[in-house]
Each structure stands twice: as structure tokens, then as C-alpha cells.
């Protein structure tokens, strides 16, 4: 439910589970520090999943560009489980594509860019067989290559090779600077509302500001959220 809420920018889930999101991120960060000396500098992990045809076409057009996972991302050191259990199982759906992400991880980049991950095999469904690695939110990767996996049963099975990138990536820095400039002085939940509007989700922004308005404890807060609601309605037309 949490990852679904993060992917879909579900306002209710994000607001109600904000404490849990922060706690899980902090716990992954602690485990990362504890396990760091056991992890090789560079290694590969795999993630199998289904992707809608529309999203897959968008991804193909951004080959060489960046992509972000805005959820807690489960990956595996086991290619076979990722391919057979998660990627291939998406192919019977005619509106989706089975994707096997092959991710190259550099722990130096993860440390410098504050992208923590943790080995969580002991609590994984497949236990040690899967060798699950759980990343915190917003890990950013470069799309290196997209290739079809030759399969006798489906022509909608693809391997996508990704490489994790850090804060020193020029393209990422340019994008981040542009977003910060666009956000102006907005902070906290006001920033999230603005992003929702820019993403073409004014109804979700309205929902967010109505919840915040109901919880506001000061006249200043109520005035701010009423102002933001007016801006939302202006953008709705």
C-alpha cells in the first residue's frame, strides 16, 4: 500500500504514513552504515516488474537520460527469481511489458549522494534465496540500454540496463537547480502541492490543501492554505 501510494502520489497515504516513511528511511540508513564494510564497491542487482505499454514507450524515448524510483525499491542479487517470478509474469497481460532491470550499483556514489540501501534477506519472502536489497526512496539511475529478451512465449519481455548516478551528475544538477528555482520559496507541504499541480494533478493538490487547512492550528497557516487553494482553482480553470 505504501509503495502504491508513493508511486501514485496518493495524498491520504503520504500524509497518514509520513512518520512510517521517515522511520523506514532512517532504518535503511542505519542498516546501510552497519553493512557497508561487507558490500563490494561495485555490484549488480536485479528487479523484475510489469510496465504499461505507455510508460515503456516513454522510457524508450528517454534512453541515455535519467529515471527515478520514487518508492522504496526492492531488488535482488538473484537474476533468475527477478526474471521468472516478476518480469515474465507480467507478459500475459496484453497491455503491459515485462521488464528486467539490471542495475549497476557503485557504493561510493550511494554514500556521497545519500542513497542508502540494505540487505534484508532474513525478512524477505524468499529468504536467502532471493538475496533482497532494499533501497530507500528516490534512487536515480541513468538508462544505459534497452534490449528485448528472446523468449519463445512472448515478444514483450525486455532487459533494461541502469547505472546509479550521484549528486555530481551534470544533468541531474541542472534539473535540480531548475526545479528549485521553479519552486521559489515554497517549503514542506506547499512544495508538494505545487509539484502535484506541475504534474497535472490539481485535484490531488486540492485534496492536500483541504486536509492541511482542516489541520491548521494558526491563522497564518489557514491563510496560507486558503491562498494555495485559490491558486489550485485558478490552475483548474
Put residue 91 in one of left, alpha, beta given phi > 0 → left and psi -120 to 50 → alpha: alpha
Residue 3 banded pLDDT, cuts 50, 70, 90: very low
Is the pLDDT reported for residue 115 higher than 70? yes
Which of the given ranges, 31-35, 129-133, 184-188, has the highest pLDDT on average? 31-35
CB hemisphere CA count around 66 (13 angstroms): 17
Q: How far is CA 112 from CA 127, 142, 147, 164, 195, in A?
A: 30, 17, 30, 12, 26
Put residue 131 in one of left, alpha, beta given phi > 0 → left and psi -120 to 50 → alpha: left
**Cα(156)–Cα(98) distance, integer angstroms:** 6
Residue 165 is given by DSSP the state -
Phi, psi of 104 (to 5 degrees): -95, 125
- 33-71: pLDDT as tens digits: 999 888 999 999 999 999 999 999 999 998 889 998 878
Q: Which domains are seen in the chain, by residue range? A: 2-176 (3.90.176.10), 184-236 (no CATH)
Residue 4 is given by DSSP the state H
What is the radius of gyration, based on Cα positions, of the chain? 20
- 196-222: pLDDT as tens digits: 877 778 888 888 888 888 888 888 888
**Cα(179)–Cα(237) distance, integer angstroms:** 24
**What does the pLDDT read at residue 5?**
45
Q: What are the residue ranges of helices labelled H in 101-169?
A: 107-112
Please name which of 33, 1, 28 lies closest in space to residue 137, comparing C-alpha atoms: 28
Question: Grid coordinates representing 38?
Answer: 561487507
Is the pLDDT reported for residue 1 higher than 70? no
**Cα(12)–Cα(5) distance, integer angstroms:** 8
For 130-147, what is the mean pLDDT? 91
Please name which of 140, 150, 64 lies closest in space to residue 100, comparing C-alpha atoms: 150
Amino acid at each position: 500500500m505504501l509503495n502504491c501510494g508513493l508511486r501514485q502520489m496518493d495524498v491520504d497515504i503520504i500524509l497518514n504514513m509520513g512518520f512510517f516513511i521517515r522511520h523506514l528511511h532512517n532504518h535503511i540508513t542505519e542498516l546501510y552504515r552497519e553493512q557497508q564494510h561487507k558490500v563490494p564497491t561495485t555490484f549488480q542487482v536485479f528487479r523484475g516488474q510489469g510496465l504499461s505499454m505507455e510508460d515503456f514507450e516513454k522510457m524508450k524515448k528517454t534512453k541515455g537520460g535519467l529515471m527515478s524510483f520514487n518508492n522504496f525499491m526492492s531488488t535482488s542479487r538473484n537474476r533468475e527469481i527477478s526474471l521468472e517470478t516478476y518480469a515474465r509474469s507480467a507478459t500475459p497481460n496484453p497491455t503491459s511489458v515485462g521488464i528486467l532491470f539490471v542495475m549497476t550499483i557503485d557504493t561510493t556514489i550511494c554514500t556521497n549522494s545519500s542513497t542508502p540501501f540494505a540487505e534484508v534477506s532474513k525478512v524477505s519472502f524468499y529468504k536467502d534465496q532471493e538475496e533482497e536489497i532494499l533501497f530507500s526512496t528516490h534512487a536515480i539511475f541513468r538508462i544505459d540500454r534497452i534490449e528485448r529478451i528472446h523468449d519463445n512465449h512472448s515478444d514483450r519481455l525486455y532487459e533494461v540496463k541502469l547505472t546509479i548516478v550521484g549528486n555530481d551528475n551534470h544533468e541531474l544538477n541542472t534539473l535540480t537547480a531548475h526545479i528549485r528555482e521553479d519552486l521559489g520559496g515554497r517549503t514542506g507541504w506547499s512544495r508538494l502541492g505545487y509539484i502535484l499541480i506541475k504534474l497535472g494533478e490539481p485535484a490531488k493538490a486540492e485534496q492536500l490543501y483541504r486536509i492541511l487547512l482542516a489541520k491548521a492550528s494558526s491563522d497564518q497557516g489557514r491563510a496560507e492554505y486558503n491562498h494555495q487553494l485559490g491558486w489550485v482553482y485558478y490552475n483548474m480553470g
